[in-house]
Amino acid sequence: MPRVSKARGKKDARKASRSAKRAVKAIGDRKSGKPQVGAIYASTPDESVRAECALPLERFGIPFETHMFSAHRQPETTETYARNARKRGLKVLIAGAGMAAHLPGVLASLTTLPVIGVPLCGSPLEGQDALLSMVQMPAGVPVPTLAVGKAGAKNAAILAAQILALSDASLVRRLDDFKHRMERGEKV
């Protein structure tokens, strides 16, 4: 068995944590202002989360950021992001993934911010796998899970706006206006 000294192990851990922090910084797609919402998707096939979340958030004037990382493939980055999210001023996280979609659950296990899950179609099981992975969270770690695919991604942005509106009267007015436009038959 190779022997690894304690000091070496700690040094490696520090190095990994520094590179995870750099990764979080580098992959951020920051919009104007200090981001209040972080929309994370696990892989390139899940880009719909970025696209569908962006428009409502922009319309509501909510500063947000998007990142791509996978809880399975980039566990260090996932942990660093979740542990620092509140300190960085984020208020709501949105996480979209397909297949064994553990991203929102893992984020929710590491932060007390609300984490909204969007299950995506990324496999022959057409999103049912992701839906069950997200919705069946064990007690203690809630992940409000929305519709599979684009509707879920769009609704995640609207739900994030509703959560933020609990302490933002101007956002309540923008949400009211959104409801009126929907009532008039405008496309959501």
Q: Which residues of 23-40 are buried (b: 16+ CB within 10 A; e: fewer)?
A: bbeebeeeeeeebbbbbb
Exposed/middle/buried for residue 170 (C-beta within 10 Å: 0-12, 13-18, 19+)? exposed
Q: Does 75 bind ligand AIR (CB under 6 A)?
A: no
* Torsions phi, psi for 143 (to 5 deg): -130, 100
Q: Does 95 bind ligand AIR (CB under 6 A)?
A: no
Q: Smallest gap, in angstroms, from Cβ of residue 27 to ligand AIR?
A: 14
Nearer to ligand AIR, 54 or 68 (CB): 68
Nearer to ligand AIR, 126 or 168 (CB): 126
The single-letter DSSP state of residue 63 is: -
Nearer to ligand AIR, 21 or 72 (CB): 72
Q: Does 101 bind ligand AIR (CB under 6 A)?
A: yes
Binds ligand AIR by CB under 6 A, chosen from 70, 78, 80, 145: 70
Q: How far apart are CA 1 and CA 42, in angstroms?
A: 35
The residue ranges that bind ligand AIR (CB under 6 A) are 42-43, 45-46, 70, 72-73, 97-101, 120, 122
